[in-house]
Amino acid sequence: MKLTLKVWRQNGPRSAGHFETHEMPEVSPDMSFLEMIDVLNERLIDESKEPIAFDHDCREGICGSCSMMINGIPHGPERGTATCQLHMRKFTDGDHITVEPWRARSFPIIKDLAVDRSALDRIVEAGGYITAPTGSARDANEILVPKEAADAAMDAAACIGCGACVAACPNGAAQLFTAAKYNHLSLLPQGQPERFARATAMVDEMERWFGSCTNYGECETACPKEISIDFIALLNRDYVRAQFKNRKLSGQKA
Amino acid sequence: MSNIALDSKIPAGPIEDKWNNHKFSVKLVNPANRRKFRVVVVGSGLAGASAAATLGELGYHVQLLSFHDSPRRAHSIAAQGGINAAKNYRNDGDSVKRLFYDTIKGGDFRAREANVHRLAEVSVNIIDQCVAQGVPFAREYGGLLDNRSFGGAQVSRTFYARGQTGQQLLLGAYQALARQVHLGNVELHHRTEMLDLVVQDGVARGLVARDLITGEIRSFSGHAVVLATGGYGNVFYLSTNAKASNVTAAWRAHKQGALMANPCYTQIHPTCIPASDEFQSKLTLMSESLRNDGRIWVPKEFDDQRPIDQIPEEERDYYLERLYPSFGNLAPRDIASRAAKRAVDSGRGVGPLKNGVYLDFSEAIGRLGAPVIEERYGNLFQMYERITGEDPYKQPMRIYPAVHYTMGGLWVDYNLMSNVPGLYVLGEANFSDHGANRLGASALMQGLADGYFVLPATISDYLAPQLGQAPIPTDDPLFQAAEAAVRDRTNQLLSIKGTHSVDWFHRELGKIMWDNCGMERSAESLDKALSEIPALREQFWSDVRVLGDGGSFNQSLEKAGRVADFLEFGEELVLDARRREESCGGHFRVEYQTEEGEAERNDDEYAFVGAWEWNGEGNEPTLHREPLVYENVHFATRSYK
């Protein structure tokens, strides 16, 4: 098929950016979206023009590196799919496709379509863990975890940390990411001792870097792992409870 | 030529006691003194993240380098199936001894006994550790951990978290790491790529790295350097590895004196989605479990053009069922892979490019009904349809083998230290535990064993005597010279301004490697590769086109450095395959096979670890041999009849 690509080019975080238009005369429907960019990059190199910078790695939808706004939608038109798993057969001959980087103040542009998402790491560092130094664990089966709890924790833990939720949010909030990371741990028995400290630490750190959530719900639609917005409700509830919780007594009632 | 003596430092005593005795015999560093030691860790996958987190918890000062934008992106994240541990929660006869035995046998008797036994011992602690961290493993309704079975074992010892076990284990290690970053014990340097190892008087002193965003070349100095930089499957260009996975850190260390062991041991996975066109950038693995219900076939006719439904049953060749009646479609990975290759090479391949074989579920759907198949494989069918646009409920999947894991790597002793004092190598980057073939669900186990339990217990033995010695400052001429060399190389790559892109060279190298040193190797094909690779390398250094500059984010430049190293490493891999005149595990030489086409080992002459020493460009590397001594397991032929 024949496509027209409008791609965002920007040399660095402080330079001005612009759109560049490229005709793609022979796109195979079996190509992935990133393979199409590969082909374009090969052509640019042939023409002695610098290739388009973009983040990608596993190309299996699990590492969370890829990060493109395709026609204004994070990861493009197919629901529950990261850019690397999006294939060109989802487009039609003659389509014009706009490709932009994640646009959020907390994700400064490094170059072209590559952005710096390290603010997400800061949220995890602030409290997105269970304190369990190596060697201190007891036998794994001594902790019983109801299957339903393990499954729900796994639903949250499926987050790949790509940042699509931030890119989709009109406020640039990272609430869905934070909620996924938070609930993965706090739904499990192992996560109870630090639960309310974790809620405060993660949310406060998030607010330092990102906008605030006002329940638009765009994040859930954009999430390539289809993580439920319900996790945001659970996080918000715990965040409020954490403000009243006497942590010295929190072991007595969960 | 040097006089390197390969001392594996395997402790004396019965195999069950070696690790415990060894832990007692190593020198320790007192907790108050640990912060005086600096350790530089490269790589943030399972091995690197778990090592950095644990060393940080112990109180050492750790600097962690990752070329990713976040430590959580390392390729361990893509592992699907699970992680083995000898817990015997199923009461089906598992034990440390059995996991040890299965791993030695699965590795086709080319792994070190003592290392493998230790791996089996600590496997149980890994599961405990991961559960304590909150890894959401699959559970039974009673709240206990669930297990599944995996290839190469007759017990159910594999723990899993849906099809995302690698992701969940890596997140566990990453979260432990994040805590140490927060506490200030670990300094995290993301988007920072190691480009050379710095060695003084034969001892590792630190490394030189490039900040991938600014292009700044800077040094990291430490009392010890730990490489956890993964495998080299991308030397074949197309593999199931992530795009950025590369051999550079290991290869740079090799050129500074570290030995490279058994590079010819590469694992091919039989069930991947075949390439769809010449633009294919990587291959996607489909879980091996599909072979439980899928039947593999190709048309009997050569170049059969008929649509699938017009090929009558009697004109289909279910070749695995025909050749291996007792194992059928569940024949081991290497056998199934080679059989697929022969079917395609004979001109009976299927699909638009004739580069696959069918994996057909119609019989299973007819017998069990589509809902049962969906329950078992729904997510895999969905993934297949997303990639190929074909519905596997209605037409057979097309599959073909692909490079997937590499057993070879830098040589290490029992302490996981290379022959260069102060340089440790963990995970897929070292050679030690899988012999010539890795069993499913054992890669995650090894990465975490090395990082959580082995390195933290052995590194103090090396560090303790250095108490009171500061690391060499990075403005020392030693580091300045190393930085200058890295800058020169970067400038050289940028100044060639040739005609072909880096990817073009990578694809060409991949073709040479796959055609001549892939699933089947012969003296002839290997000699061919040995003549073609140097020519391609020469062309690379005169004709590669790397645009942009070295002082900013430049992905072509990053790739160019990695491909340049693959062009050297590939030759050594082929040489290793040429010299190993036997077939074992993932290394199949057509000259050495039984009448039935099985791998034929030569234990009398080749029961050794082949460790190569770099002798400078243009010189053939030297092969050092570490004999493999089996005191507990006896040589046997792998049988699946």
Residue A254 pLDDT = 46
Question: In chain A, what residues touch B382 (CB-CB under 8 Å)?
Answer: none
**Which site among A31, A41, A62, A66 would you substitute to test the B interface, given the most B Cβ atoms closer than 10 Å to its Cβ?**
A62
Q: Which of B69, B142, B281 sits opposite A34 (nearest CB)?
A: B281
Query: Nearest CA to B339 among B404, B271, B389?
Result: B271
Q: Take residue B258 and report the two structure tokens written for it.
A: 């570290």
Phi, psi of B374 (to 5 degrees): -65, -40
Residue whose tokens read 């003592």: B114
Residue B288 pLDDT = 79
Q: Take residue B86 and report the two structure tokens written for it.
A: 């000898």
Q: Can you tell me the distance from the alpha carbon of A179 to that of A167, in angstroms, rounded to the nearest whole number?
A: 16
Number of Cβ within 10 Å of residue B101's Cβ equals 16
Confidence of residue B1 (pLDDT cuts 50, 70, 90): very low
Q: Take residue A84 and report the two structure tokens written for it.
A: 């690397």
Q: Which of residues 61-80 of A touch B (CB under 8 A)?
A: 62-65
Question: In chain A, what residues touch B504 (CB-CB under 8 Å)?
Answer: 42
Tell me the β-bridge partners of A119.
none
DSSP state of A83: G
The three-state secondary structure class of A24 is strand
Number of Cβ within 10 Å of residue B477's Cβ equals 9
Q: Which of A50, A59, A151 sits opposite B281 (nearest CB)?
A: A59
The three-state secondary structure class of B76 is helix
DSSP state of B501: -
Among A59-68, B330-339, B396-405, which stretch is predicted with the lowest mean pLDDT? Answer: B330-339
Phi, psi of A108 (to 5 degrees): -60, 145
**In this structure, is the dihedral angle defined by the CA atoms of residues A118, B429, B417 and B613, taken in order, positive or negative?**
negative
pLDDT in tens, A8-39: 999 999 999 999 999 999 999 999 999 999 99
Among B17-31, B183-197, B263-277, B564-578, which stretch is predicted with the lowest mean pLDDT? Answer: B263-277
Confidence of residue A250 (pLDDT cuts 50, 70, 90): low
B132·A154 Cβ contact <8 A: no
DSSP state of B197: E
| Smallest Cα distance from B282 to chain A, Å | 8
Residue whose tokens read 């909030």: A173
- Whether chain A has a CB inside 8 Å of the CB on B67: the answer is no
Taking CA–CA distances from A138, the nearest residue in chain B reads B128
Taking CA–CA distances from B246, the nearest residue in chain A reads A57
CB pairs under 8 A between A and B: 217
The three-state secondary structure class of A184 is helix
| Smallest Cα distance from A110 to chain B, Å | 7
Q: What is the mean pLDDT of chain B?
A: 95
pLDDT in tens, B562-585: 999 999 999 999 999 999 999 999
A150·B138 Cβ contact <8 A: yes
Q: Do B300 and B317 form a contact (C-beta atoms < 8 A)?
A: yes
Strands B158-159 vs B186-189: parallel, antiparallel or unpaired: unpaired
Question: In chain B, what residues touch A12 (CB-CB under 8 Å)?
Answer: 552-553
Q: Which of residues 93-152 of A touch B (CB under 8 A)?
A: 110-111, 114, 116-118, 120-121, 124-126, 128-141, 143-147, 150-151
Q: Can you tell me the distance from the alpha carbon of B220 to that of B263, in angstroms, rounded to the nearest whole number?
A: 28
Write out the H or E segment, with its range, that includes residue B271.
strand B266-272
Taking CA–CA distances from B384, the nearest residue in chain A reads A85
Q: Take residue A222 and report the two structure tokens written for it.
A: 């954009």
| DSSP state letters, B565-632 | HHHHHHHHHHHHHHH--S-BTTB-BTTSB-TTS-B---HHHH-EEEEEE---TTSPPEEEEEE---SS
Question: In chain A, what residues touch B188 (CB-CB under 8 Å)?
Answer: 121
Query: Nearest CA to B219 among B201, B199, B246, B244?
Result: B199
Among A42-56, A162-176, B336-350, which stretch is predicted with the lowest mean pLDDT? Answer: B336-350
A114·B553 Cβ contact <8 A: yes
The residues, any chain, with a CB within 8 Å of residue A10's CB and separated by 6 or more, are A16, A17, A18, A101, A109, A111, A112
Confidence of residue B29 (pLDDT cuts 50, 70, 90): very high
Q: Which of B279, B383, B547 sits opposite A31 (nearest CB)?
A: B279
Q: How far is CA A85 from the centre of its chain?
A: 15
B142·A144 Cβ contact <8 A: yes
Residue B640 has pLDDT above 80, yes or no: no
| Smallest Cα distance from B245 to chain A, Å | 8
Average pLDDT of span A58-86:
96
Q: Is ipTM over 0.90?
A: yes
B213·A116 Cβ contact <8 A: yes
N residues, chain A: 254
The residues, any chain, with a CB within 8 Å of residue B475's CB and separated by 6 or more, are none
| Smallest Cα distance from A201 to chain B, Å | 12
Question: In chain B, what residues touch A26 (CB-CB under 8 Å)?
Answer: none
Query: Nearest CA to B250 among B426, B405, B76, B54?
Result: B426
The residues, any chain, with a CB within 8 Å of residue A17's CB and separated by 6 or more, are A8, A9, A10, A109
Question: In chain A, what residues touch B552 (CB-CB under 8 Å)?
Answer: 11-12, 111
Q: Do B240 and B516 form a contact (C-beta atoms < 8 A)?
A: no
Average pLDDT of span B336-361:
93
Q: Which of residues 27-66 of A touch B (CB under 8 A)?
A: 28-32, 34-35, 38-39, 42, 45-46, 48-51, 53, 55-60, 62-65
A129·B178 Cβ contact <8 A: yes
A12·B553 Cβ contact <8 A: yes
Q: Do B120 and A134 form a contact (C-beta atoms < 8 A)?
A: no
**Which site among B66, B90, B175 would you substitute to test the A interface, given the most A Cβ atoms closer than 10 Å to its Cβ?**
B175
**Sheet hosting strand B217-221, strand order edge to edge:** B192-200, B203-211, B217-221
Residue A168 pLDDT = 98
Question: In chain A, what residues touch B242 (CB-CB under 8 Å)?
Answer: 57-59, 63
Kindly report the CA angle at B527 between B524 and B530, in degrees rounded to 5? 155
Q: Do B135 and B160 form a contact (C-beta atoms < 8 A)?
A: no
The residues, any chain, with a CB within 8 Å of residue A51's CB and separated by 6 or more, are A41, A42, A44, A45, B547, B555, B556
Q: Do B105 and B120 form a contact (C-beta atoms < 8 A)?
A: no
Query: Nearest CA to B264 among B290, B235, B223?
Result: B235
Question: In chain B, what residues touch A48 (CB-CB under 8 Å)?
Answer: 545, 547
Average pLDDT of span B527-551:
98
Q: What count of Cα atoms within 13 Å lies in the side-chain half-sphere of residue B429? A: 36
pLDDT in tens, A219-232: 999 999 999 999 99
Residue whose tokens read 């949220």: A123
Q: Do B427 and B450 form a contact (C-beta atoms < 8 A)?
A: yes
Confidence of residue B80 (pLDDT cuts 50, 70, 90): confident
Query: Nearest CA to B406 among B591, B636, B236?
Result: B236
Residue B636 has pLDDT above 90, yes or no: no
Taking CA–CA distances from B558, the nearest residue in chain A reads A53
Burial environment of residue B271 by CB neighbours within 10 A (0 to 12, 13 to 18, 19 or more): buried
Q: Can you tell me the distance from the alpha carbon of B578 to that of B431, in angstroms, rounded to the nearest whole number?
A: 19
Q: Which of residues 144-173 of B touch A (CB under 8 A)?
A: 144-145, 161-162, 164, 167-168, 171
**CA of B157: how far to CAs of B91, B257, B380, in Å?**
10, 39, 22
pLDDT in tens, A205-216: 999 999 999 999
The residues, any chain, with a CB within 8 Å of residue B24's CB and separated by 6 or more, are none
Q: Can you tell me the distance from the alpha carbon of B293 to that of B365, in angstroms, rounded to the nearest whole number?
A: 9
- Span between the terminal Cα atoms of chain B, in Å: 46
Active site amino acids of B:
333
Which residue type is seen at B431? F
Kindly report the CA angle at A66 between B193 and B63, in degrees rounded to 5? 30
Strands B224-227 vs B38-42: parallel, antiparallel or unpaired: parallel
B132·A132 Cβ contact <8 A: yes
A57·B131 Cβ contact <8 A: no
Q: Which of A42, A141, A157 sits opposite B171 (nearest CB)?
A: A157
Average pLDDT of span B622-629:
96
**CA of A160: how far to CAs of A60, A157, A185, A213, B143, in Å?**
11, 8, 15, 20, 26
**Sheet hosting strand A96-101, strand order edge to edge:** A18-24, A3-9, A96-101, A68-70, A73-74
Average pLDDT of span B83-110:
95
DSSP state of A111: E
Q: Which of A51, A62, A161 sits opposite B164 (nearest CB)?
A: A62
Residue B187 has pLDDT above 80, yes or no: yes
Residue B247 pLDDT = 98
Q: Can you tell me the distance from the alpha carbon of B528 to that of B515, in angstroms, rounded to the nearest whole number?
A: 10
pLDDT in tens, B403-438: 999 999 999 999 999 999 999 999 999 999 999 999
A190·B188 Cβ contact <8 A: no
Q: Which of B453, B545, B555 sits opposite A53 (nearest CB)?
A: B555
The three-state secondary structure class of B218 is strand
DSSP state of A72: T
Residue B597 has pLDDT above 90, yes or no: no
**CA of A185: how far to CAs of A194, A230, B133, in Å?**
9, 15, 9
Strands B316-317 vs B295-299: parallel, antiparallel or unpaired: antiparallel
A132·B545 Cβ contact <8 A: no
Question: In chain A, what residues touch B132 (CB-CB under 8 Å)?
Answer: 130, 132, 136-138, 140, 143, 190
pLDDT in tens, B361-407: 999 999 999 998 887 788 889 889 989 999 999 999 999 999 999 99
